[in-house]
Amino acid sequence: MHELCIGYLTDNRRMYTFEKFIYFLNKITNKDKVHLLVLINNAPSDYYENIIKTKLIGISSNIVMFNNNNNYINKINAFINYSKQNNIKYCMKCDNDIIINNHTIDYMIENLHYLEKPENLFITPSLSTGIPTTDYFVEDFFNEDEQNKLHNIYLKTNMPNSLWGFDYSYLNDYTIKSNKWEVNKFINKLNELDYHYKGIHPIRIDKDALEYMNNTILKYKAKIHDKQDYKIQINSEYSYLCNSIFIISAQNYANVINNRSLYVDPYDEVPVNKYCRMNNMKGIYIRNSFTIHPIYNTISNHPAIEQQFYRDFFTNN
C-alpha cells in the first residue's frame, strides 16, 4: 500500500524541470510506497504523459489537468482529496522548481513515523533558499570561508521598506547595521513580527547573495547527488516555514486547507504556519539533505537565471 503521495505542482513555465525530477525519483528504493500525482495547467498533457510513459520506472502515477490560472489551492485540494480517497496517509507537496535527490526522498519516507506524533506537523529537507533551512544548508554545505563570504553579503543587504505590503527595514539591525550575521537573532525578531508574511531573508531579495549561493552549489554539485549523513532536527520553538517542499499528513493538510480563517491569500504558506503556531506544533528538518530551490521571483531576471542554473547543474550528469 502506498504511504506517500507526491503532489508535483506544475504548469507551462517550467516544463524543462520535470524530467530532472523524474531522474532522481527513479532512483529511490521505496518505490512501492510512493504514488506520483502530477497537477498541471497551461501545459500540454501529452508532454508529461510521454515522460511518465517513457522515463518513469516502477512508480504508479496520475495526471490531473486544471484549466484556469488561479488554481493553486484547487490543486492542493485535489491532491489532498486524492490522497485521502486512496488511503494514502502522507502528502509531499513539491513545486516544479525543486532539485531533490533520491537519497533525501528515501530518508524522508523512512522517517514518516515522526509524523505519527501529534506535536509534529511536517518534515522538510534543507532547501538552499528556504526559510529557515537556507542557514542550515549553508552551515552544512559550505566551508568556513564560503560561509563567511556569504554572510558578509548578507551584511550588505538593505532590507526592503515596502514588500508584500509591509516595511521590513527594521531588520537592517541584523544586516547593514550589524557587523556579524546572527541568524538566530534575525529569526527571533522575525517571529515576533505581527504580520502574516514572515518569509523574508537576504537570500530571497539579494541577487549577489543568491548568485554566490548558486555558484558555490555548482562548484560542489556532485555532493548534491551523493548520499549524506542525514540527521533529524526537531525545532522546539516555532520558526516560520517558507519551503516549497514538505511532507505532512493528509489529515493535517486537510485541516489546514479547510480552515478559511487561516487564509490571507490563495496559497497555503500562511495557513500552514498559522496552523502550526496555533496548535503549538513542531517542524522536522533533515540536516545535510542538500535540496535546491534556485531562485525566487523577488530577484530580477529570475526565469533566465533559473534556466541557466539548471543547464549548468545537469551538464555532464
Rounded average pLDDT over 229-233:
98
Give the position of cell 537592517. 172
> What is the percent of the chain with per-residue pLDDT over 90, rounded to a whole number?
92
Query: What are 19-75's pLDDT values in tens digits?
Result: 999 999 999 999 999 999 999 998 787 999 999 999 999 999 999 999 877 789 999
7-23 mean pLDDT: 94
Q: Is the pLDDT of residue 317 over 60?
A: no
Q: What is the mean pLDDT of residues 185-199?
A: 94
Please give the domain boundaries of the chain with CATH numbers for all domains: 4-128+238-281 (3.90.550.10)
Given a cut of 90, whether residue 235 has pLDDT beyond it is: no
Is residue 40 within 8 Å of residue 10, measured between CB atoms?
yes
Contact present, 253 and 81 (Cβ < 8 Å): no
Q: What is the mean pLDDT of the chain?
A: 96
